[in-house]
Structure 1
Amino acid sequence: MAHQISCEDAGMDCAFVVQSESDDELVEMALLHGENQHNVEMSEADVRELIKPAG
């Protein structure tokens, strides 16, 4: 089952959404996006809390 993370769910005014079958991949991609696009560093645990079912 695919899951997703969105910047909007993290309180950002950003349309970034990433979907994957792998939660580890979601976390990695969201952390990289946050650092590169928003200059924000989040903990892996905080990012994992943003994971929702895709759809």
Structure 2
Amino acid sequence: MTKQIVCADAGMDCSFVVQSESEDELVEMVTLHGEHQHDVEMEKNDIRDLIKPA
């Protein structure tokens, strides 16, 4: 099943959305996005809490 993370769900004014069947891939992609686009580091568990069905 495809899952997604929407950056705006983390409180950012951002249209970034990432989808994958792999939760580990979602976490990695959001980690990189947060660091490069928002200059923030998030805990992996906090990122996992943002995962929803696509």
TM-score by length of 1: 0.97
1:20 aligns with 2:14: no
- Structure 1 gaps of 5+ residues are none
In 1, Cα distance between the equivalents of 2:35 and 2:6?
14
* 2:31 equivalent in structure 1: 31
Moved over 6 A (4+): none
Q: What is the aligned length?
A: 54
* 2:44 equivalent in structure 1: 44
TM-score by length of 2: 0.98
- Structure 2 gaps of 5+ residues are none
Percent of matched pairs sharing the same residue: 72
